[in-house]
Amino acid sequence: MSKAIRVWNEYRHEKTHKEVSDIYPDGLHEAIATYLREQPGLQVRTATLDEPQNGLPDSVLSETDVLIWWGHMAHADVAEETVDRLQKRVLEGMGLICLHSAHFSKIFRRLMGTTCNLKWREIGEKERIWVIEPGHPIAAGLGQYFELEHEEMYGERFDIPAPDTLVFVSWFAGGEIFRSGCCYYRGDGKVFYFRPGHETLPTYYDPNVRRAIANAVRWAAPVDGPKHTFGHHPQPIEDVKPWP
């Protein structure tokens, strides 16, 4: 049974910054989607910010198993109404994978409840991503660590809730560390934050980054879990006399 994946990109840098479009001529969503399309059992489409309803009408969301999110310069342009629907859909079971600068996306901050702030620096320093939880499915097929020769630095304190499972921690040449792969259960859904992916760098062509994203997609896919009932349940399951 094929999983429906949607790769969302704000798709602005690519239109205005030649250094970005040189690397991602069809948008970085296509670089990610192209790789995922080669993986078995995934049906992959894309969506972008400037489409109607930010590319994510309910008709799309309701049939999406896992949504991948990349945004950076235009977080503010995502409609509150879109964020409301996204949050609702994640809590109903849709997986969400937030990449890199999506730490500051409205949907990630909404789901985390914290500022999601961090330190950053853009000098193209080396990042080494260490696997901390080797039995986790997101670590499948990876080595003890993998390196990105040039990346933007993100450093702690990363103002997030402690992840339910911490899979990756990054070392940066400039002296910082960062929790780079963070798994969360939220509602019936699952969220994965994955750090790498500055828009001026070919990070989304890196085979380890791609593998981690593909792994995360499978981990984040909905399970056929319980349908909850919430609210007033006046009738006890057991035989109990009302009081007084």
Kindly state the tokens that stand for 33.
């989607």
Identify the residue among 45, 124, 202, 205 touching its own copies (CB under 8 A). 124
| Of 52 and 236, CB closest to its own copies | 236
DSSP state string for 7-72: EEE---HHHH-HHHHHH-TT-HHHHHHHHHHTSTTEEEEEEETTSGGGG--HHHHTT-SEEEEE-S
Q: Which of residues 135-194 bind its own copies (CB under 8 A)?
A: 135-137, 139-144, 150, 153, 155-157, 159, 161-162, 164-166, 169-177, 179, 184-190
| Of 56 and 139, CB closest to its own copies | 139
Question: Shortest gap between Cβ of 51 and its own copies (angstroms)?
Answer: 26
Distance CA 110, CA 183 (A): 16
Q: Which of residues 28-47 bind its own copies (CB under 8 A)?
A: none
Question: Shortest gap between Cβ of 57 and its own copies (angstroms)?
Answer: 22
Q: Which of residues 3-32 bind its own copies (CB under 8 A)?
A: none
231 binds its own copies (CB under 8 A): yes
**Which burial class, exposed, middle or buried, applies to 110 when counting CB atoms under 10 A from its CB (0-12, 13-18, 19+)?**
middle
Question: Shortest gap between Cβ of 147 and its own copies (angstroms)?
Answer: 9
- Please state the three-class secondary structure of 167-217 as a single string: EEEEEECCCCEEEEEEEEEECCEEEEEECCCCCCCCHHHCHHHHHHHHHHH
**Which burial class, exposed, middle or buried, applies to 237 when counting CB atoms under 10 A from its CB (0-12, 13-18, 19+)?**
exposed
Question: Shortest gap between Cβ of 128 and its own copies (angstroms)?
Answer: 6
228 binds its own copies (CB under 8 A): yes
Question: Shortest gap between Cβ of 93 and its own copies (angstroms)?
Answer: 7
Strand partners, 197: none
Binding mask 52-91 for its own copies (x = CB under 8 A): -----------------------------------x---x
